[in-house]
Structure 1
Amino acid sequence: MSDDTSAAIRETRKDWVVEHREMYLESGGAKGHIMDITPVGGRNFATHCMIKYVGRKSGKVFITPLCYADIGGEVVIVASKGGADEHPAWYLNIRDMDQVEFQVATQAFRGTWREPEGEERQKVWDFVVDCHPFYANYQASTERQIPLVMMKAVEEIPVFKASDATGTRQF
């Protein structure tokens, strides 16, 4: 998939993503965790988390909602950017961080993160694609290997609020 095609997909989903993020934040996670994403190629009972991170260039705080899967007690997110040829900004930002903050439904955590490798990566990838089949299409549309990020909770923190973010996600 070209970056232009990826940009067109992101533009189409832009309003939905913004509305989803606002709903998740305004409800404290009571809404937005489970969503029907069949219009964008997902399942009708898809799980979503939010990650909070600091921009490596701007120093601003961003909150981004993402589909996730849970495997072996770790939350797995996918740095797909809709199959674009470059990594999403959130992934580039958390690569520079020792820890990550994430929220699943009404619980938020500070935790560690890692990228699975080798056989483990393939096992995790297969599981994520089973949960969210559109990721297979995204991988087929780019030559880069789409990164997987596995997050493990270390301590509970307050749920995210819209006022926590000092930056606006770029689409």
Structure 2
Amino acid sequence: MLYGDEHVRRYQETDGAEGHDWNNTVVLLLTTKGRKSGKPFTTPLIYQPYGDDYLVVASKGGAPDHPQWYKNLLVDPDVQVQVKGDRFRATARTAGPGEKPDMWRVMARTWPDYDEYQKKTDRDIPVVVLERVK
């Protein structure tokens, strides 16, 4: 099974033929700009389509602090996304309280561990909406 940098590399090289389908779910690549370094960072993340948008979860396995990629997009929400061979710019935003419950259910259906991760931490785990820039 692919993880980390190897997952990103194989996904990019094969347009997702290797790496999109992962551990009985699906993965996209999210590239954010480092809030300190300004360098691009690409992270494989479980996702689900939601209307015209894509959803990802900033869970970090239920750790007490947000993942670095989430902290980066809070500073600069202009991100790059790759879903299989489709590469596009997107604007990332945190789901609001009115929309998050339904979005969380969608994500927990594809990765039930999200519910366990939320139980492990006091932080409210964000759902991130990736809106394609037209």
**TM-score (ref. length: structure 2):** 0.92
CA offsets 1:33-73 (integer angstroms, 9 cap, x no match): 112x2xxxxxx2x1100011111111211111110011122
In the TM superposition, what are the counterparts of 1:128-139 in structure 2 within 5 Å? 128-139=107-118
Which residue is equivalent to 1:63? 42
AA of the residue aligned to 1:137? E
CA distance in 1, matches of 2:27, 2:77: 23
How much has 1:117 moved relative to structure 2?
A: 1.5
Larger radius of gyration: 1
- Correspondences of 1:3-18 after superposition (within 5 Å): 16-18=3-5
- Distance in 1, matches of 2:5 and 2:90, equals 25
Structure 1 match to 2:51: 72
Q: Matched residue of 1:118: which SS?
A: coil
8 Å Cα contact 1:50/1:66 also seen in 2: yes
Q: Does 1:21 align with 2:8?
A: yes
Which among 69, 73, 82 is matched to residue 103 of structure 1? 82
Between the aligned partners of 1:98 and 1:141, the Cα distance in structure 2 is 27
Aligned amino acid, residue 26 of structure 1: E
Aligned to 1:154: 133
Shift of 1:145: 0.4
Structure with greater strand percent: 2
- The equivalent residue for 2:31 is 52
Amino acid in structure 2 at the alignment position of 1:22 = R
Q: Determine the C-alpha separation between the residues in 2 that align with 1:18 and 1:97.
A: 22
User: Number of residues paired by the alignment?
Assistant: 134
The residue identity in structure 2 corresponding to 1:58 is S
**1:19 positional shift:** 2.7
Instruction: Compute the TM-score of the two structures, normalised by the length of structure 1.
Output: 0.73
> What residue identity is the alignment partner of 1:143?
D
CA distance in 2 between counterparts of 1:87 and 1:98 reads: 15
Identity rate, percent: 39
* 1:32 and 2:11 are equivalent in the alignment: no
Runs of 4+ in 1 over 3 A off after TM superposition: none
Alpha-carbon distance in 1 for matches of 2:92, 2:38: 20
Paired residue secondary structure (1:119) = coil
SS at match of 1:123: helix
Task: Please state how far the C-alpha of 1:119 moved relative to its aligned partner.
Answer: 2.9
Name the aligned partner's letter for residue 122 of structure 2. E
CA apart distance, 1:121: 0.7
